[in-house]
């Protein structure tokens, strides 16, 4: 039932049964609390030496990737907030609690990249790394903020699905994962940037819970109203071209062979492989019992399986 916070008449935590720790969002919350990490604890001194030893092209490519990540993490920190209010309005305290951790983790990811830039001595304005990347601008200054901010005035299930597909399945599930693949090419091929490697490992661990929550949220809406399955597919189709554009734009603006043996076709293929892989898990929720969906751990198991597959694939390129 929908209610404004200003009309609070009782407390979920005081009710009989209070908070269900077996519910999917509470399981994610508990897991995340056990995996706390602190960006300030990561030693970045070797990274500074490695960046200093790079050629200009290598340094540009590395900074471009880090700048895209950092601005992306800042964007998701801000843009998730209407989803917290939407969960509060629905009276879903467990989701609201989990999303406080989720948004905190995004803030921490932003912090980690900024600490890295400062530690390697790159302190000038970094906007030039994203200014000419039109698909990046479209996703991070238009599609992402607009679809999330819509929830502030209309948190309908359909709008929640459009927001989640944009945020969890495209930005996190496709762009960030393809970005890890780039980092693997840069770092592992030469055994450089140990601090960045640690940062990416921690971020990837947090992101698996984020994407699992996105799959869970789409599943519960599709289970409640079968007509919403079309909204998932529709939003995916709308974003496919700009998402692939984010992956290829840096290559298209580059003269000659890019550094670190990164390859546009390999990267695009990797991204394409990630785009649709959560759709099947959402589709299986059609017609499912909502009480089962709320306790079903399969979105989390799915991310762990994807992680194992990705790790094997990354190992092969490194």
The contact set with Fe ion (CB under 5 A) reads 73, 106, 109, 172, 207, 210
Closest distance of CB 288 from Fe ion, Å: 26
Nearer to Fe ion among residue 214 and residue 259 (C-beta): 214
Nearest to 24 by CA among 301, 308, 304, 307: 301
Give whole-number Cα distances, 71 to 146, 212, 254, 264, in Å: 16, 23, 21, 22
The residue among 129 and 180 lying less far from Fe ion, judged by its C-beta, is 180
* Min dist. Cβ of residue 33 to Fe ion (A): 16
Residue closer to Fe ion, measured from CB, 158 or 210: 210
Q: Which is nearer to Fe ion, 214 or 242 (CB)?
A: 214
Nearer to Fe ion, 85 or 107 (CB): 107
Residue 176: CB atoms within 10 A of its CB come to 22
Cα separation, 47 vs 120, whole angstroms: 6
* Whole-angstrom distance, CA of residue 252 vs CA of residue 239: 19
- In eight-state DSSP terms, residue 150 is G
- Return the C-alpha torsion angle 315, 139, 168, 115, nearest 10: 60
- Angle of helix 264-275 relative to helix 177-188, nearest 10 degrees, comes to 140
Burial 229-267 (b: 16+ CB within 10 A, else e): bebbeebbebbbebbbbbbebbeeebeeebbbebeeeeb
**Least distance (Å) from Fe ion to the CB of residue 144?**
12
Q: Which is nearer to Fe ion, 47 or 73 (CB)?
A: 73
CA-to-CA distance for 157 and 290, rounded, in angstroms? Answer: 14
Nearer to Fe ion, 3 or 35 (CB): 35
By CB neighbour count within 10 A (0-12 exposed, 13-18 middle, 19+ buried), where does 35 fall? exposed
Report the nearest approach of Fe ion to the CB of residue 167 (Å).
8
Query: Which CB atom, from 192 or from 211, has the smaller least distance to Fe ion?
Result: 211
Q: Are 166 and 235 in contact (CB under 8 A)?
A: yes
């Amino acid at each position: 039932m929908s209610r404004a916070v200003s009309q609070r008449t009782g407390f979920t935590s005081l009710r009989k049964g209070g908070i269900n720790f077996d519910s999917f969002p509470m399981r994610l919350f508990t897991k995340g609390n056990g995996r706390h990490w602190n960006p300030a604890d990561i030693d970045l001194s070797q990274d500074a030496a490695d960046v200093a030893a790079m050629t200009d092209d290598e340094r540009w490519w590395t900074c471009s990737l880090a700048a895209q990540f950092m601005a992306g993490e800042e964007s998701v920190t801000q843009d998730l907030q209407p989803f917290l209010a939407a969960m509060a309005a629905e009276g879903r305290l467990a989701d609201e609690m989990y999303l406080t951790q989720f948004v905190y983790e995004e803030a921490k990811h932003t912090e980690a990249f900024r600490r890295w830039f400062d530690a390697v001595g790159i302190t000038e304005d970094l906007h030039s790394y994203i200014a000419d990347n039109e698909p990046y601008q479209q996703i991070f200054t238009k599609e992402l903020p607009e679809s999330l901010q819509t929830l502030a005035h209309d948190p309908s299930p359909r709008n929640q699905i459009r927001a989640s597909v944009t945020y969890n399945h495209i930005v996190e599930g496709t762009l960030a994962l393809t970005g890890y693949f780039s980092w693997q090419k840069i770092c592992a091929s030469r055994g450089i940037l140990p601090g960045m490697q640690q940062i990416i490992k921690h971020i990837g661990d947090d992101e698996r819970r984020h994407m699992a929550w996105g799959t869970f949220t789409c599943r519960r809406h599709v289970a409640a109203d079968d007509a919403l399955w079309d909204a998932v597919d529709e939003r995916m189709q709308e974003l496919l071209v700009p998402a692939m554009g984010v992956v290829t734009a840096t290559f298209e603006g580059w003269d000659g062979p890019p550094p670190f043996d990164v390859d546009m076709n390999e990267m695009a293929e990797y991204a394409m492989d990630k785009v649709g892989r959560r759709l099947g898990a959402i589709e299986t929720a059609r017609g499912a019992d909502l009480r089962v969906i709320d306790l079903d751990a399969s979105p989390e198991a799915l991310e762990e399986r994807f992680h194992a597959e990705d790790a094997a694939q990354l190992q092969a390129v490194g």
